[in-house]
Structure 1
């Protein structure tokens, strides 16, 4: 029995901030963002979008009624949680109409936890071959106006349906993980934005990539020559490029190195237009690779590097299955181009708007552009969600 990713979906904010506009507003050379970070635009979400609406919309784009009847676990990985107790997975389970006898929970470890969720899902399907697991990575990266992290903000959600006999990717049992107790990026409960030691975090990312990759090769016996592509966690694409260069085997034939670089470029296509989406960044890179590479074929292997500050890293691999291209969209770039462009002033107003609760815990919101679901109000401290068909959930 093979187990892996059967379907993959994506949703992001419906507003777009051009990096050139942000650079001009902040008084810096636009190439600091376009070349220094390899970022061209950011996805911006209003207060009516959160990890629930993004996650539900990403999943809604791939699930049919048969899937909803077979899913018996919903896992949401995030570091943008909306509640210290109730899991976002419970809200999403309800919004999607998944059958009631399902386990729903939320996982956290910075940007790494979606990989842990994927492992959990795979183990569950091994034990229960007829079941399906919905894994969602959903986040809104928010650092603050005119801060070092501001140019790497972004928002989005990846949804993956895990099953036996997958039609996209078969996951392997070659995972190698590493944990280090470090303080490179963290957000205490009392802070709405994270604390970041940027240079230190970059060094840790690259060193954990190097050492985990060495251990992976030692345990698996595989080398870079065994893979057609290598996907990376993408805090910003330029860091992943540094990682790609660090693990490159210079003894490989030039044609192989060129093919790997072409697939790397395909893997950062979407992130260049969206920014950092935390837990979903690695899998957005995977989706971008699959939908933009001109050379991938069934039977080829892909390596993946997951990293979450604090820190946990993991390297694992997957194989493309026959017919995988039929599971992919062909108009994703057009969808990204259809986002509404906004000025820097509008971005500052929309992105940083906060709940204005009255004494009874109620709040209403302006009518912003969203995906398939939106947060329409807070009533008595309860978040009220609505699908575009007008059905209300809380």
Structure 2
């Protein structure tokens, strides 16, 4: 039985800041942002968007009524959840009007959470072939203004519908995963901003890819020549390139050029959104699928997932016949085209605007947010979400 990705959707806030202008304000050479780390634009989340609304909007764009009835498991991968007890998946379940006879949970392991969700979804569908599982990767990356990590912030969500007989990609069974207790990135419960050891994180990302790739080759008997492309978790778009470069020596120049060209295409969406943590790998996959229109059915795609702290995994998928017919290329192009640039001053003001932490009641103006699903305020310590379509 084939199990894999049946549909994939994406959502980012309607606001962004230009990285060249941010570099100018920070007295940094713009090339450090646009070339050094490989980022052009950074999505900026208004206060009316959080991890829940971003995920719900991403899923809203791809699910039909049959999907909503068939989904009996919602798995929400995030490291910027909104509640320490109630899962973000429960909120999304209600906002989308899904089948009430469903499980809904939140999964946390830094940027690896959505990958864990996909592997759980595969096991669930193997036991329940008629089921569909909604896997969400949604985050708002915050390091703080004028910090070393500021240029690797971002916001957005990817929604994946996992099912038997998938239309886009079947997921192969062999994968390799590794865990090691590393303090390369963390966010204590008392902080709304992340802490990171950037140098260590880069080193461990590359080391984890090397480990899982070498183990995968030994386990599967496959090599780079068996892959049309390899997609990466991208905290910034140069990161995957750094990890891929050392292993390219294993293959021919033709294969090297193919993998490098497809890697570059896979970074397109991420360059213009920034770091979305749990969704970053799948935004990279989506960018490749939607921007390269001659990927052949039957092509094998590698996926490298890395979540600081740290857990890494390498797994693979096979593109299905007519997979392009099930992508939402136009919808995502319209989303990017409709975004509005904000000045650095406006970005800083939006960044500093936060919800009260003392239980105060607040009503938010959602009229300026074009998203269908928004956060409308807080009452009695409860977030108030609105689906404008209802």
Q: Shorter-normalised TM-score: what interval? A: over 0.9
What's 2:167 paired with?
167
| Residue 324 of structure 1, CA deviation | 0.2
| Residue 248 of structure 1, CA deviation | 1.2
| Residue 13 of structure 1, CA deviation | 1.0
| Residue 175 of structure 1, CA deviation | 1.1
Mapped pair 1:277 → 2:266: no
Mapped pair 1:107 → 2:107: yes
Residues in 2 aligned to 1:251 and 1:77: alpha-carbon distance in whole angstroms: 35
Residues in 2 aligned to 1:351 and 1:138: alpha-carbon distance in whole angstroms: 18
Q: How does 1:1-394 map to 2 (within 5 A)?
A: 1-252=1-252, 254-331=253-330, 332-356=332-356, 361-367=360-366, 368-389=368-389, 391=390
Unpaired runs of at least 5, structure 2: none
Residues in 2 aligned to 1:360 and 1:221: alpha-carbon distance in whole angstroms: 57
Unpaired runs of at least 5, structure 1: none
On the 8 A contact 1:48/1:370 being kept in 2, the answer is no
On the 8 A contact 2:48/2:375 being kept in 1, the answer is yes
Spell out, residue by residue over 1:316-365, the C-alpha distance to the aligned partner (whole angstroms, 9 max, x if none). Answer: 000000010001123334421320110001001112311136x7531122
Q: With the length of structure 2 as denominator, give the TM-score of the two structures.
A: 0.97
Residues in 1 aligned to 2:347 and 2:40: alpha-carbon distance in whole angstroms: 15
| Residue 194 of structure 1, CA deviation | 1.1
On the 8 A contact 1:56/1:373 being kept in 2, the answer is yes
Residues in 2 aligned to 1:42 and 1:308: alpha-carbon distance in whole angstroms: 21
| Counterpart secondary structure, 1:248 | helix
| Residue 251 of structure 1, CA deviation | 3.3
On the 8 A contact 2:9/2:328 being kept in 1, the answer is no
Residues in 1 aligned to 2:384 and 2:178: alpha-carbon distance in whole angstroms: 39
Spell out, residue by residue over 1:228-271, the C-alpha distance to the aligned partner (whole angstroms, 9 max, x if none). Answer: 0000010100111111212213431x222222111111100000
Residues in 2 aligned to 1:41 and 1:178: alpha-carbon distance in whole angstroms: 32
| Residue 312 of structure 1, CA deviation | 0.3
4+ residue runs of structure 1 moved beyond 6 angstroms?
Answer: none
RMSD, matched Cα: 1.2
Residues in 1 aligned to 2:195 and 2:207: alpha-carbon distance in whole angstroms: 21
| Counterpart secondary structure, 1:121 | helix
Q: With the length of structure 1 as denominator, give the TM-score of the two structures.
A: 0.96
